[in-house]
Structure 1
Amino acid sequence: MNSPPAPPADSLVTVDTCLACRSRDVRTHAPSGRTGFVILQCRDCGLRFLRDRLSLDAVVSDYDMDADAYAAFTDITRPEVIDSSHAEVLERIDQLVGPKPGRSLFDVGAGDGGFLAMARERGFAPAGNELSSGAIEMAWERNKVELHKGDLATLDAGLHDAVTLWCVLAHVPDGDVLLEDVKKVLKPGGLMFLQTPRWSKMDGMGMVAHDATKGRASRITDRRMAMHHMSLHTVKSMRATLERLGWEVVSIEPHVRYSLTTASYLHSLGISEKAAERASRPVNALLDRDLFFRNVLDVYARIPG
């Protein structure tokens, strides 16, 4: 498999302190032999994060894709997993927000609007934003959901009872800025749900191979730590981030949620399409029984109110 092109140097920002707990006790792993990316590991809270990260302007540029490009991405997802996850989370949000008139839910990076359409059915006034013009177009065509184009900093403050972020935190260079912006759009006492990639046992095994070969055996680490996943949290690092920023943590729970089809995910690790298709069957059997690596964190937190 060919190595992805390195981002231009002027599109990167460099960090050397833990982004979660602010510790300077950070281990530097060998650069990836394929990408040159350097993974840092906080020895205090366990956060793993890229030393060199895309700037916010570069992220915005990368994610502004047209409808065809966005549809191509959604075609390799597992809709049954996504729908099940959405329903489970909405049930919990419904309980935590409670029955109140005119309650509103804002979804950050709302994609094709499927989650907001489900929230609308549960009595929430739906709102959301996107960086992708194609996603905004699809959200209206598929779900009659109108999305704002741009980031949270441009929105009116204090309007929403709940804000959700599905795999958004790992995509931004500075999670603190994002989480502070979320606070601003919530009503006092408002609820945030976020799902973010978790550092799992699979990642640990990949890191052992990476370190033992000085970055040459890097397929797993390259797949999991990349410009689309610039940070992988632990429960401890996620709690440290939220408490440092003044959030009241409700719960932080590891879950098994793989939204890409298994064959597509295995192929992204460099396995041939035919072999990936064969290998996907036993992996799917484990996923169906919730027996695979817990790859995400589901996080619920409130602002004081």
Structure 2
Amino acid sequence: MSYERLESCPVCCKAEFRNKLVVEDRTVSHESFAIVQCANCAFQFTNPRPGPAEIGRYYESDDYVSHNSGAAGLVNQAYKVARFFTVRRKVSLLNKLAPRCGQLLDYGCGTGHFLAAAQAANWQVAGLEPSARAREEASSRLGQPVGQESLASFAPGSFDAITLWHVLEHVHLLNETLAQLTALLKPDGVLLIAVPNVESLDAQHYRELWAAYDVPRHLYHFAPKTMAQLLKKHKLTIRQTLPMPLDAYYVSMLSEKHKAERAGGLLTVLKAGYKSNHYAEQHEGQYSSLLYVAGRRTPAA
């Protein structure tokens, strides 16, 4: 098994890193991976990591619910219940944030539930998804083909909105992909990026057991400041940063599961999620997950 090592920070391009944590892959391989932090800009990323040709085997789990609607178990059932509500909230947000109800690309669309809801709300939708199983299910759900990965199949300036729901942290070619996505936006289009937040209270509480590290599938571990720096590199402005409060409960449930015999019950999970959200209210919106609303220019006053 070969791994690739990043020699420079994807955000600031400096080459001095500090070891942050060692985290176990508790979903598939049970291997351990190092998370490093850039000494200059504080961006955190998994390093070394499996390359694009090797990463696929780390997704080979029937429990990886975003790629498999048939996944069983209590945690996955909770995910599906939450998805029922969050998909509708996502479409409502999209309708408020986008300049118009037009062309939508969901990059990393999984099994297509969000795209189907957007389609029902009169969006013209397109999706890309690397997982063959999820792609087949999404294509069936939408009644149209879903592509594999290539952004080159779309013309520049094609989309009123592009969404990445917990996807950017998985992308090997981070800067190249952001450059391509930016080029696909219409001048007044909106880019919605949802990612976990390493500065949340649940990240601090669970440390190496924090489920949202999800190594090695998560290659990058964002915070508001590093996300702002990254998007600025691509001439994108963050217009809003919105909370995703349900994620604190779901991530806490997974993190408690990682604690094995020391795991707490439902009350422990509810308390952890509540504390994380309450902390965020008092500390500049440092929620477990954040939705960054970005565009190529600031809207006219």
Q: TM-score, normalised by structure 1?
A: 0.77
Can you list the C-alpha shifts for 1:206-259, whole angstroms capped at 9, x where unaligned?
55xxxxxxxxxx4x1686251121211110000000001111221234533438
Residue range with higher mean Cα deviation, 279-288 or 181-190: 279-288
From the superposition, tell whether residues 145 and 63 of structure 1 become closer, same or farther in structure 2 (CA, over 3 Å). Answer: farther
CA distance in 1, matches of 2:176, 2:16: 23
Which consecutive residues of structure 1, in runs of 5 or more, have no partner in the other structure? 1-7, 208-217
Can you list the C-alpha shifts for 1:137-170, whole angstroms capped at 9, x where unaligned?
2224445353112332343332211110011111
Residue range with higher mean Cα deviation, 195-204 or 38-47: 38-47
Q: Counterpart of 1:58 in structure 2: which amino acid?
A: E
CA distance in 2, matches of 1:107, 1:178: 13
From the superposition, tell whether residues 121 and 142 of structure 1 become closer, same or farther in structure 2 (CA, over 3 Å). Answer: closer
Q: Determine helix, strand or coil for the equivalent of 2:18.
A: strand
Aligned to 2:283: none
Contact 2:106 2:126 (8 Å CA) reproduced: yes
Contact 1:136 1:147 (8 Å CA) reproduced: yes
CA distance in 2, matches of 1:32, 1:265: 12
2:131 matches 1:126:
no
Q: Equivalent pairs: percent with the same residue?
A: 21
- Pairs within 5 Å for 1:66-215: 70-73=68-71, 76=76, 77-99=78-100, 103-144=102-143, 146-199=145-198, 200-207=200-207
Shift of 1:55: 1.9
CA distance in 2, matches of 1:129, 1:187: 18
CA distance in 2, matches of 1:147, 1:282: 40
- Pairs within 5 Å for 1:47-62: 47-59=43-55
Contact 2:58 2:216 (8 Å CA) reproduced: no
2:281 matches 1:282:
no
Which consecutive residues of structure 2, in runs of 5 or more, have no partner in the other structure? 25-29, 281-286
Q: Determine helix, strand or coil for the equivalent of 1:56.
A: coil
Q: Counterpart of 2:196 in structure 1: which amino acid?
A: P
Q: Determine helix, strand or coil for the equivalent of 2:11.
A: coil
CA distance in 1, matches of 2:251, 2:211: 19
Contact 1:256 1:295 (8 Å CA) reproduced: yes
Aligned to 1:296: 289
Aligned to 1:215: none
Residue range with higher mean Cα deviation, 282-291 or 106-115: 282-291
Aligned to 1:245: 234
Aligned to 2:284: none
From the superposition, tell whether residues 300 and 263 of structure 1 become closer, same or farther in structure 2 (CA, over 3 Å). Answer: closer
Shift of 1:296: 1.3
Contact 2:111 2:135 (8 Å CA) reproduced: yes
Residue range with higher mean Cα deviation, 175-184 or 196-205: 196-205
Aligned to 1:38: 34
Q: Counterpart of 2:228 in structure 1: which amino acid?
A: R
CA distance in 2, matches of 1:261, 1:16: 30
From the superposition, tell whether residues 31 and 123 of structure 1 become closer, same or farther in structure 2 (CA, over 3 Å). Answer: closer
Q: Counterpart of 1:70 in structure 2: which amino acid?
A: N
Shift of 1:14: 0.6
Residue range with higher mean Cα deviation, 66-75 or 239-248: 66-75
CA distance in 2, matches of 1:30, 1:285: 25
Query: How many residue pairs were aligned?
Result: 279
CA distance in 2, matches of 1:195, 1:248: 15
CA distance in 2, matches of 1:223, 1:128: 24
Aligned to 1:5: none
Q: Determine helix, strand or coil for the equivalent of 2:172.
A: coil
Shift of 1:262: 6.0
Cα root mean square deviation, aligned: 3.4
Q: Which has the higher contact order (CA 8 A, sep 6+)?
A: 1
Can you list the C-alpha shifts for 1:28-63, whole angstroms capped at 9, x where unaligned?
246558744222113444322112122223335655
Shift of 1:65: 8.3
CA distance in 1, matches of 2:21, 2:137: 41
